[in-house]
């Protein structure tokens, strides 16, 4: 057969070396290689390489597959782990949702005061976004439009307190839906990765001093000043969180010292 009628591909050359070509096609490839000594030499080198590999590892070809490399076993284990992980996520989600809604009822007997409803919203947002790895915030802290944008949406001028004395750096913020209109969330991060959030929402309750609310592993201090409700959330370490909250309170409320904070029952 002539060169023009035998279009041999690279894949066919590999199949030829591996002995996987049909007999009739093999004859055509042999004829093609006979006219191309360079390609014939390349295939000879492939064969030599395969022979060397076989000689090196011939003794282990018939050994049983180690348990740690048993694909069937690994697949079963992986599937089991995925199922357990999915179950854990579902339980955590249901527990978090239940605690949020039950918290509303416990606080209020089904009719949550406006200030405490804001705390529920703030803690739910805190739990959701502190767990985010790639997108914890919507707009980074270095964006000049961050605070003007959030202020415009919430309808009141917002400021970001400086919490560097606690090792907390502002990383950004996001716009959120609230029950009484748009709300805003600023996120701070510490050197070991712990995160605190400051939640702003339009106030529908009278001014209040700092108050404390704990919910599982997280807690919050909140207060109302004029047209805005503020909620600062973080790990449930009351003394530390209170110091952070008081620093934010001083900066956001014109330096007035808060009254003695009280624990909500």
Domain range list for the chain: 3-60, 113-263
Asked if 159 and 251 touch (Cβ cutoff 8 Å), the reply is yes
Answer whether residue 94 shows pLDDT above 80.
no
Per-residue pLDDT band for 174 (boundaries 50, 70, 90) equals very high
Topology adopted by domain 113-263: Phosphorylase Kinase; domain 1 (3.30.200)
**Over 50: is that where the pLDDT of 186 sits?**
yes
**Averaged pLDDT score across all residues of the chain:** 76
Strand partners, 230: 200, 223
Distance separating alpha carbons of residues 113 and 115, to the nearest angstrom: 6
What is the chain's alpha carbon radius of gyration, rounded to the nearest angstrom? Answer: 33
149 contacts 186 by C-beta, under 8 angstroms: no
Q: Would you say residue 201 has pLDDT above 80?
A: yes
Q: Which residues have C-beta within 8 Å of that of residue 39, sequence separation ≥ 6?
A: 13, 32, 33
pLDDT confidence of residue 52: 61
Running DSSP on this structure, what letter comes out for residue 59? G
Residue found by looking up tokens 């009484």 in the block: 180
Q: Is the pLDDT of residue 147 over 70?
A: yes
Q: Are 226 and 174 in contact (CB under 8 A)?
A: no
Q: Which long-range contacts (CB under 8 A, 24 or more apart) does 88-93 make?
A: none
**Residue 39, class by beta-carbon neighbours within 10 Å (0-12 exposed, 13-18 middle, 19+ buried)?**
middle
On the question of pLDDT at 265 being above 50, the answer is: no
pLDDT for 103 equals 40
Structure tokens at 59: 């003794």
Q: What percent of the chain has pLDDT over 70?
A: 68
| Strand ranges for the chain from DSSP E | 139-140, 169-178, 181-189, 195-202, 208-215, 218-225, 228-235, 262-263
List 176's β-bridge partners, or say none. 183
Average pLDDT over residues 235-256: 86
The mean pLDDT of 108-112, rounded to a whole number, is 37
């Amino acid at each position: 057969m002539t060169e023009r009628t035998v279009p041999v591909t690279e894949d066919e050359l590999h199949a030829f070396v591996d002995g996987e070509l049909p007999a009739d096609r093999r004859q055509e490839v042999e004829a093609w290689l006979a006219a191309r000594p360079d390609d014939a030499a390349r295939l000879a080198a492939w064969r030599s390489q395969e022979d060397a590999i076989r000689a090196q590892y011939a003794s282990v070809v018939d050994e049983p597959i180690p348990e740690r490399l048993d694909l069937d076993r690994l697949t079963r284990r992986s599937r089991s782990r995925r199922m357990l992980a999915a179950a854990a996520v579902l339980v955590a989600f249901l527990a978090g949702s239940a605690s949020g809604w039950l918290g509303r009822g416990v606080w209020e007997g089904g009719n949550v005061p406006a200030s405490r409803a804001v705390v529920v919203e703030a803690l739910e947002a805190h739990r959701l976004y502190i767990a985010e790895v790639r997108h914890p915030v919507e707009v980074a802290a270095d964006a000049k439009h961050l605070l003007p944008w959030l202020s415009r949406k919430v309808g009141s001028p917002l400021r970001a307190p400086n919490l560097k004395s606690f090792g907390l750096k502002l990383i950004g913020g996001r716009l959120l839906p609230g029950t009484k209109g748009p709300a805003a969330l600023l996120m701070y991060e510490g050197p070991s990765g712990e995160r605190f959030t400051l939640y702003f929402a339009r106030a529908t309750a009278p001014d209040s001093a700092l108050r404390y609310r704990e919910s599982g592993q997280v807690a919050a201090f909140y207060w109302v000043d004029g047209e805005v409700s503020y909620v600062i959330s973080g790990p449930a370490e009351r003394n530390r969180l209170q110091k952070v909250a008081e620093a934010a309170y001083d900066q956001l409320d014109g330096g007035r010292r808060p009254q003695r904070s009280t624990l909500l029952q």
